[in-house]
């Protein structure tokens, strides 16, 4: 027992995944279910660092599997003998999934729904009855993998998401403080503008991680769940603060040549107060005893100095002043919210002041382009086996294009060439096991 308790976190997670994979295969083979590797896929893909993250991803995977199965049954039922209409509507569906995968709250569910619909429709063939059997089997095996890993991760070395959430919150406070400080220094004439892009990328990464960490912590952490309203307010405020800082920095080039000490006499006090507020936030998140305190800020423009600048620079200055005062308001609310989280203050039905109204639905041009690329990919993936004799993989090639296409198109910042080496290494490693080890196994004990 002492040796087990001293295992590193990485080793513990590896053992949990291996145990869940073995159990999932064992149950599937014992029940004589076909394709137990589908249960194994579910275990592998929802195996994450905390219980909440794993359960959330498992729920998204199962929801996506159900949606993909329904779409596959519909496509085969309507277009079983009309391949061109089938390809058309399949590509439209994959395009929609790609669009939603790049901006929806439930991104992973849309991703799974896209490639699972292709797997079921192609694997089942043109016979609707066979497609129904494949769809039920896919849902059955996916559910098995999710349930098995959920039980293993809950019972064996469980880890909740609260620590990860608080570490992400600390990272976010630090990155936004440095981003704001650097932006204000550049605004006052510093030449370190090249520091802004990496700081912004770090902030965006922390903001992206925060959403998933919070959803996971609401599942597996009683303290976070009890503070749900304050944590959700925190998430809203840091998103607003990030957007406002970015907008403020858009006018840097127009203002760098201006004498800001004269135009905004209170700018130095503003910088010191912002640093003080972020330092207090950091101490609160680290559970260090401190009381939140904010000084009232005035950032009035000197009208005499303002009359000496051009109309264009005047507009840029007024807009920057507005954003700085908005940062003052948001940071004040953010400090109070973090204090409420740490003191378990009573929740309130009063909405945040100045909270932005939800925008009406609009089509995103970048996501539309990505959806178009995905549709073209699916057409090429279907046409290649039709018109090229003895095409490797046959029509099943389209299922691979569906999965990898959505991954690459939705993450265009990842160069494709970076994937070649790890994929080649994985194929080589798995190939050695498949060729030399698997033929030697004669029982489930050996496989396990």
pLDDT digit string (tens) for 202-249?
A: 898 898 888 888 988 888 888 898 889 999 999 999 999 999 998 888
| 167: nearest Cα among 273, 282, 253 | 282
Q: What is the pLDDT of residue 117?
A: 95
Q: Stretch 325-347: mean pLDDT, rounded?
A: 87
Give 369-402 pLDDT, tens digit per residue: 999 999 999 999 999 998 998 888 888 899 999 9
- Residue 195: which pLDDT band, with cuts at 50, 70 and 90? confident
Q: What is the CA angle 311-315-319, rounded to 5?
A: 170
Q: What backbone torsions phi and psi does residue 437 show, to the nearest 5 degrees?
A: -95, -50
> Token digits for 77?
């039922």
pLDDT digit string, tens, across residues 76-134: 999 988 989 999 999 999 999 999 998 777 889 999 999 999 999 999 887 878 999 99
Rg of the chain's alpha carbons, rounded to an integer? 27
Residue pair 145/38 in contact by the 8 Å Cβ criterion: yes
Residues 160-192 as b/e (b if ≥16 CB within 10 A, e otherwise) read bbbebbbebbebbbbbbbbbbebbbebbbeeee
Crossing angle of helices 397-410 and 365-387, in 10° steps, is 160
Could you give the CA distance from residue 385 to residue 253 in angstroms, rounded to a whole number? 54
Burial of 33 (0-12, 13-18, 19+ CB in 10 A): middle
Which pLDDT score is estimated for 360?
63
Stretch 390-419: mean pLDDT, rounded?
Answer: 85
Residue 43 has pLDDT above 80, yes or no: yes
DSSP string, 324-356: HHHHHHHHHHHHHHHHHHHHTPPP-SPPPTTPP
As a whole number of angstroms, the distance between CA 46 and CA 13 comes to 12
**The predicted structure's pLDDT at residue 373:** 94
What are the pLDDT digits (tens) for 295-335? 877 778 777 777 777 777 778 788 888 888 999 999 999 99
Task: Count Cβ atoms within 10 A of the Cβ of residue 90 and give its class: 0-12 exposed, 13-18 middle, 19 or more buried.
Answer: buried
Distance, in Å, from the CA atom of 19 to the CA atom of 155, rounded to the nearest integer, reads: 12
- Alpha-carbon distance of 270 to 266, in angstroms, equals 6
**Measured between alpha carbons, how far is 404 from 424 in angstroms, rounded to an integer?**
15
Of 116-125, 262-271, 410-419, which one has max mean pLDDT?
Answer: 116-125
Highest mean pLDDT: which of 189-193, 315-319, 406-410?
406-410
Q: How far is CA 20 from CA 15, 42, 250, 376, in A?
A: 8, 10, 50, 38
Integer Cα distance of 149 and 48 in angstroms: 10
pLDDT at 354: 46
pLDDT value for 343: 84
Whether residue 136 contacts residue 408, with contact meaning beta carbons closer than 8 Å, is answered with no
Q: Is the pLDDT of residue 291 over 80?
A: no
pLDDT-wise least confident of 23-37, 318-332, 344-358, 384-398: 344-358
Mean predicted lDDT score pLDDT of the chain: 87
- For residue 287, the model assigns a pLDDT of 86
CA distance 215 to 16: 22
pTM of the predicted model over 0.85? no
Neighbours of 291 (CB within 10 A): 7
């Amino acid at each position: 027992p002492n040796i087990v308790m001293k295992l590193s976190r990485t080793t513990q997670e590896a053992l949990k995944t291996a145990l869940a994979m073995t159990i999932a295969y064992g149950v599937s083979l014992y029940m004589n279910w076909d394709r137990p590797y589908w249960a194994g896929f579910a275990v592998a893909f929802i195996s994450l660092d905390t219980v909440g993250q794993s359960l959330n991803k498992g729920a998204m995977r199962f929801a996506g599997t159900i949606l993909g199965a329904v779409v596959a049954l519909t496509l085969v039922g309507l277009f079983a003998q009309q391949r061109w209409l089938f390809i058309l509507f399949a590509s439209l569906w994959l395009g929609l999934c790609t669009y939603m995968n790049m901006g929806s709250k439930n991104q992973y569910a849309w991703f799974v729904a896209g490639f699972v619909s292709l797997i079921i429709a192609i694997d089942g063939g043109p016979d609707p009855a066979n497609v129904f059997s494949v769809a039920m089997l896919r849902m059955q095996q996916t559910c098995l993998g999710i349930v098995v890993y959920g039980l293993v991760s809950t019972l064996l070395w469980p880890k909740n998401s609260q620590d990860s959430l608080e570490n992400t919150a600390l990272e976010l406070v630090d990155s936004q403080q440095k981003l704001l400080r650097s932006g204000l220094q550049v605004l006052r004439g510093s030449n370190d503008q090249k520091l802004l892009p990496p700081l912004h990328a770090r902030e965006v990464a922390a903001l992206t991680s925060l959403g998933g960490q919070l959803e996971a912590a609401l599942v597996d952490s009683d303290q976070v769940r009890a503070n749900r309203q304050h944590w959700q307010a925190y998430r809203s405020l840091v998103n607003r603060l990030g957007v406002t800082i970015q907008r403020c920095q858009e006018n840097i080039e127009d203002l760098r040549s201006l004498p800001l000490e004269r135009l905004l006499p209170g700018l130095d006090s503003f910088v010191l107060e912002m640093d003080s507020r972020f330092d207090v936030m950091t101490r609160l998140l680290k559970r260090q005893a401190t009381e939140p305190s904010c000084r009232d800020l005035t950032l009035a423009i000197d009208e005499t100095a303002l009359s000496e600048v051009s109309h264009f620079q005047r507009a840029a200055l007024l807009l920057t002043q507005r954003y700085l005062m908005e940062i003052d308001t948001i940071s004040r609310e953010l400090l109070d919210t973090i204090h409420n989280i740490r003191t378990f203050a009573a929740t309130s039905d009063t909405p945040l002041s100045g909270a932005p109204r939800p925008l009406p639905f609009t089509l995103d041009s970048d996501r539309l382009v990505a959806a178009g690329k995905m549709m073209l990919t699916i057409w090429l993936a279907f046409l290649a086996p039709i018109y090229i004799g003895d095409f490797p993989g046959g029509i099943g090639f389209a299922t691979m294009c569906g999965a990898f296409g959505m991954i690459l198109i939705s993450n265009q910042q990842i160069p494709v060439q970076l994937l070649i080496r790890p994929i080649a290494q994985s194929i080589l490693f798995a190939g050695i096991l498949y060729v030399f080890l698997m033929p030697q196994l004669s029982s489930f004990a050996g496989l396990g």
